[in-house]
Every structure is written in structure tokens, then in C-alpha cells.
Amino acid sequence: MSRPDIAVVGGGLVGRLLAWRASRAGFDVALYDAAGRLGEGAAAWAAAGMVTPATEAVDADAEIVAMGRRSLALWPQWLAELQHPVFYRDAGTLLFWHHNDAGEAHRFEALLRARDAKAKLERVDGTRLGELEPALDLRFHQALYLPGEAQIDNRELLKAVADALDDLKVQCHWNTKVADTALPDVGTVVDCRGMGAKADWPRLRGVRGEVARLYAPEIALRHMLRLLHPRYAVYVVPRAEGRLVVGATSIESDDHSEVSVRGALELLSAAYSMLPALAEARILEFNAQVRPTLPDNRPAFHYDRNRRILRINGLYRHGFLLSPTVVEEALALLSADERSGFTSRWPCLREAPAIAHAGVHPGEEERHSCLSS
């Protein structure tokens, strides 16, 4: 067996996308993951798969939003290159609010218009809502509409990329845990282990999310729905064949245990308050996920040139929003001529001077996340 050019350690969303794109670019790639080929051990397994840069602009840095727009352009291109179809829809997001939370809607609208000049935000009335969601009897008479935002079936994607890796003859080592002290002997190691890299990147923290999957074939949603609420901003994301993904929670916790009774009740109650037709939906499963997050909630690269280790982490709850852009930049870095160097198009991913802190080996340089505004 040949010595690979690149070993990707961690086969979650970023890791398997990078292995796929690097192999297509001509690299000899090996992939190692502690879980199976379906991705059931990754945070992406329980994700809603939303690509919503405008919606995120209210809370996220402007550069994160721009990176999300780049991903929004890349996703259809990449999905078209897969042999197996993956559910994808870019009909946009509808945002609703209860009467008592009208102030939250005004706050969201004002912040979005101030922070994202490119957002195509439309305030719609009942008539327009009927045109957008004709099969749905909503209890709201107005909403905010953000066209063009997209969603991807996360599990279909993980499987389709695993199949593509097989087609490309990538050496996939599933159910194989790799420690930092026993990295593969290859040209470059790319560490995409997420929370699995916490021992080597102590600044990582977990942000827990809880998600419900429902079956409601009578609810034919065209758009992603979000509830604007000061404490509990629930979303409902339609999938193919009558399935829905409902989520909301963002808890500062490394707890990987099952969904709590309180979490389940709050999640479904908030969704029901927005969409009463969910009363007859069937609960398929509850899932909890812990997203790897750095102190500033932005992604980061650490590149140890001496040891040939590139570490990618900290995508927070923006996995599907940022992964294509992050992978594109990582591949450009791996492909760059070391004599000429590499400069990312994104200021938050450009190289900084050498730093020294726990979890970064001597001589390692940080391709670090954006500074807070």
C-alpha cells in the first residue's frame, strides 16, 4: 500500500469533505475515523443541515456571513458531483413571532438590515404567506422572508460522500481511533477530530444542541421555519418523504448524553406553538450533539509546518454554513507551493505570527479565527 500524501483524522463533515475534495484534486488520501462510515459519531449526524448566512448575520461576524455565502454557492456544485442524490432545497427561510414578541422581530429586522446589506429581507403579510406556503394553515398573519437560504439532508450527504470516497479508492479506516501520539506516517496529517481533539486543543469547549426528527406527511412545507423568541428560537426544517427536523437548543455543555425530558418538552412545545399541525406528527427520534467551539465562536486552523500537521476545528453550530469554504481554503493551503507561501482570501484564516499556548506545539503557527468586532 502506498504512503498517502494526506491522512485526514476525523471523518465528520469537514474531514470527509476534505478527504473527498483532496482525492478529486489528485492527492493520495487516507481517512481515519473513530466511528462508522455513516457518520453516526459526528456532530453532523444530528444536524439540521441549514445553510442560512442571512439569518445568522444577526449574531455572527460579517466575515462568517461572507464565508457562508461562499458555501451557499459551493454546495450545489459539490452535490452535483456526487453519484448519489442528496436532498437539497434553497427556497429560503420564513421567520415568525408571537404577538407578545413583536419587539424581537423588530430587533431582528433592524439588526439584519444594519449588519448585512446583501440580505434580501422581505416582510410579508397573510396573502403573501399563503402564496409561499399554500398547504399550511399558519396561525401567523405576518412574517419575515429570506429567500435563497438552503438546507441539505445531513445523513444523505454523509453517506453519499462515504460512497464517493469508496469510488475514488480512498483508504478509509472506519472505527479506528487515532491518538496524537500515534499519527499516521504520511506527507501531511489533517486533524479534523472536533471535540475529539480537545486534549490537544484545550481552548475547545462544547456547545450542546438537541434535535427532534418527526414524521408528518400531511405537513408539506416548502421553506425552513424559525420562531423569533428572546429565549427559545426554534426551527422546523422540512425533509423529503414527510420528515421534519426540529431543533433549537444551544447549551454550554460537553454532555453527550441523551435528550432530557425538559429539553424535549421545551423543543416540541415551542415548535407546536408555531405550527399546531405538529400535534399529530410522529416522533421518530431525539438526538443530542456537541459542537466543537473556540472562545470566539469562529473556526481556526493551526498549522505545524515542522511536524506537517494541519488542525482544523471550532466550526461551532455553523458546520454546514462554513464547511465548503473551510475545506476549500484548507485544500488551497495543502496545494500551495511552500516557497511562495499561502494567503487565504479570508482575513480570519490568514497566517499569524507564531504563538505559544497550551495545546499548540513549539513552532506551530496559528491560522486563527476572526477577531471579535
pTM over 0.95: no
215, 350: one domain: no
Same domain, 286 and 302: no
Same domain, 272 and 137: yes
Higher pLDDT, 101 or 336: 101
Write out pLDDT tens, residues 69-89.
999 999 999 999 999 999 999
pLDDT band per the 50, 70, 90 thresholds, residue 256: confident
Residue 360: per-residue pLDDT: 39
Domain boundary among 247, 272, 293: 293
pLDDT digits (tens, 9 = 90+) for 40-58: 989 999 999 999 999 999 9
In a domain, 326, yes or no: yes
CATH number at residue 361: 3.50.50.60
* Average per-residue pLDDT for the chain: 89
Same domain, 141 and 233: yes
CB environment 308-320: b (16+ within 10 A), e (fewer): ebbbbbbbbbbbb
- Taking only the tens place, the pLDDT of each residue in 136-164 is 777 788 999 999 999 999 999 999 999 99
The pLDDT value recorded for residue 181 is: 63
Q: Is residue 139 part of a domain?
A: yes
In this structure, the answer to whether residues 117 and 30 fall within a common structural domain is no
Predicted confidence at residue 359, as pLDDT, reads: 40
Asked if 268 and 310 sit in the same domain, the reply is no
34 lies in some domain? yes
Question: Same domain, yes or no, for 235 and 282?
Answer: yes
Domain boundary among 233, 268, 293: 293
Is 209 found in the same domain as 341? no
Higher per-residue confidence, 196 vs 368: 196
CB count within 10 Å of CB 201 equals 24
Q: Look at residue 66 and tell me if it is in a domain.
A: no
> What would the pLDDT profile of 336-355 be if each residue is shown by its tens digit?
866 566 777 877 676 433 33
Q: Assess whether pLDDT exceeds 80 at residue 95.
A: yes
Claim to verify: residue 214 and residue 104 sit in the same structural domain: yes
Domain count, the chain: 2
Domain boundary among 293, 314, 334: 293
User: Which residues form the domain of 281?
Assistant: 93-147+205-293
Report the CATH number at residue 265: 3.30.9.10
**231 and 286 share one domain:** yes
What is the widest separation between alpha-carbon atoms in the chain?
65
pLDDT band at 245 (very low <50, low <70, confident <90, very high): very high
On whether both 159 and 281 belong to a single domain, the answer is: no
